[in-house]
Copies of this chain bind each other. A is one copy, B any other.
Amino acid sequence: MIRDQNTAEKIMDVAQYLVQTRGYHAFSYRDISEQIGIKTASIHYYYPTKPDLAKALLRRIRGMFEEALEAIDTGGGDAKTRLRKFTEIFLDTYGDDGRLCPFCMIATTQETIPQDVQEEVRSFWRKGEEWVKHVLEEAEELEETVPAESRELISRVMVSSLEGAMVVAKAFNDRKRLEDTADFMLSLVEGGEITT
């Protein structure tokens, strides 16, 4: 993890943390400037407007997300293992200090931000859902437990339930709630029987 190479990335790191813990409208350029020791004008040099900053932020995270998914694919393993690694991305995001999903944070306030930023959110979730669906499709061992008609729905529920679980876990300051939800969703695919 090499970080803080340049100012632009420092800004994004701090902004990302603030988005995840406070939300888009609950942090300011001033908050960022104080934390990294520069003036707000300097932040505007890199990110002229706040939506610019948000968009760059989401793009970066989405890129890291897609890299993580590729790494899972490259790493091999059965569907069970790969899906577990998928849920671990959300657990890692949550971390020890209850960082929520940046896309979820932006989505809750989407009516207040430009279209292109909203599109970043949809792209993220589309990618996650598609990836899960493909894993379900490719896994021969799941043919009986997860019927073809249910795969898209399951992939959607898996993603959105993780998002919801993060928010609730945060409210209760209880990471285990997120872990339990992840385990439950995995159990549906692994051992359970989907009849819908």
Query: Beta-carbon contacts of A170-193 to B below 8 Å, as 1s and 0s?
Result: 111000010011011101100111
A164 to chain B: closest residue by CB: B164
CB–CB A170/B110 < 8 A: yes
Would A187 and B180 be within 8 Å (CB), given that A109-B22, A111-B22, A167-B107 are in contact? no
CB–CB B193/A181 < 8 A: no
Interface residues of A in 142-196 (CB under 8 A from B): 153-154, 156-157, 159-165, 167-168, 170-172, 177, 180-181, 183-185, 187-188, 191-196
Would A172 and B23 be within 8 Å (CB), given that A164-B163, A167-B108, A193-B193 are in contact? no
Interface-lining segment among A38-46, A64-72, A118-126: A118-126
- Expressed in whole angstroms, the minimum distance between the Cβ of A144 and any Cβ of chain B is 13
CB–CB A172/B100 < 8 A: no
- Expressed in whole angstroms, the minimum distance between the Cβ of A96 and any Cβ of chain B is 15
CB–CB B112/A23 < 8 A: yes
A2 interface residue, CB < 8 Å from B? no
A residues whose Cβ falls under 8 Å from a Cβ of B: 21-23, 25-26, 100, 104-105, 107-112, 118, 121-122, 125, 153-154, 156-157, 159-165, 167-168, 170-172, 177, 180-181, 183-185, 187-188, 191-196
